[in-house]
């Protein structure tokens, strides 16, 4: 009887996993992720309003915003560039983009201060972090998962570094939380896009370095 019950449970788990993959299929990459769709649109719109062709930009640990046509673009990647270590480069930028990084740094306060340090006076710092998202780590690359920030928490972090926060956004809903429990789900037409402020899966902010 126990053997039959165990076999039934295994079969049921397989059926549920198959159904889940049909409803919440695996995303092919960050640009395809359901949970990042609204955040990506908001950040893209804000950056395009800045007239990128006239600005120098840097992105921390990535190059997702490189295609916007900046005057110059620099990707600062770990471990060559450590966002928590004292800044060694004297180069400064008009826009500093830091997406999906702060949850992985050991010292987010030091990281926020360095984001300001990389930004020219009057320049813009763009930050995004997950909130209601499962722990995700890649130890072989030295990437661990330490923190989560609510909208209020992200504002407090950036203001503590001396930045002037212009706005904080967030997006999420119960279905998106469920759909990303076991895999990073790709957006499909049946996925709801309404926002439930108390269930954010992504949080982002735009902040100025005081001139």
Paired tokens of 142? 């030295």
pLDDT band at residue 16 using 50, 70 and 90 as cut-offs:
very low
Within a domain: residue 93? yes
Within a domain: residue 181? yes
Within a domain: residue 16? no
Within a domain: residue 111? yes
pTM: 0.90
Give the residue numbers spanning the domain of 166.
25-208
Judged by average pLDDT, the poorest of 85-89, 108-112, 165-169, 206-210 is 85-89
What pLDDT, on the 0 to 100 scale, is given for residue 138?
85
How many other C-beta atoms are found inside a 10 Å radius of the C-beta of residue 102?
Answer: 25
Within a domain: residue 6? no
Strands (E), 82-196: 93-99, 119-130, 164-171
Within a domain: residue 106? yes
User: Considering its fold, how many domains does the chain have in total?
Assistant: 1
Q: Which helix (H) or strand (E) holds 112?
A: helix 108-118
Within a domain: residue 2? no
| CATH code for the domain of 79 | 3.40.50.150
Give 81 or 17, the one with higher predicted confidence.
81
Within a domain: residue 9? no
């Amino acid at each position: 009887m126990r053997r039959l019950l165990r076999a039934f449970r295994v079969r049921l788990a397989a059926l549920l996993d198959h159904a889940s993959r049909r409803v919440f299929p695996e995303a092919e990459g960050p640009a395809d992720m359901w949970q990042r769709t609204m955040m990506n649109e908001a950040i893209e719109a804000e950056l395009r309003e800045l007239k990128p062709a006239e600005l120098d930009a840097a992105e921390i640990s990535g190059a997702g915003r490189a295609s916007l046509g900046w005057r110059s673009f620099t990707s600062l990647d770990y471990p060559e560039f450590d966002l928590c270590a004292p800044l060694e480069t004297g180069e400064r930028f008009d826009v500093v983009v830091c997406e999906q990084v702060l949850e992985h740094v050991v010292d987010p306060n030091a990281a926020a201060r360095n984001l300001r340090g990389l930004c020219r006076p009057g320049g813009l710092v763009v930050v995004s972090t997950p909130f209601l998202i499962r722990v995700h780590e890649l130890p072989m690359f030295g990437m661990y998962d330490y923190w989560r920030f609510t909208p209020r928490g992200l504002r407090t972090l950036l203001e503590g570094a001396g930045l002037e926060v212009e706005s904080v956004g967030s997006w999420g809903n119960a279905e998106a939380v469920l759909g990303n429990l076991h895999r990073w789900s790709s957006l499909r037409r049946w996925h709801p896009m309404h926002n439930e402020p108390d269930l954010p899966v992504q949080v982002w902010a735009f902040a100025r370095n005081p001139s």
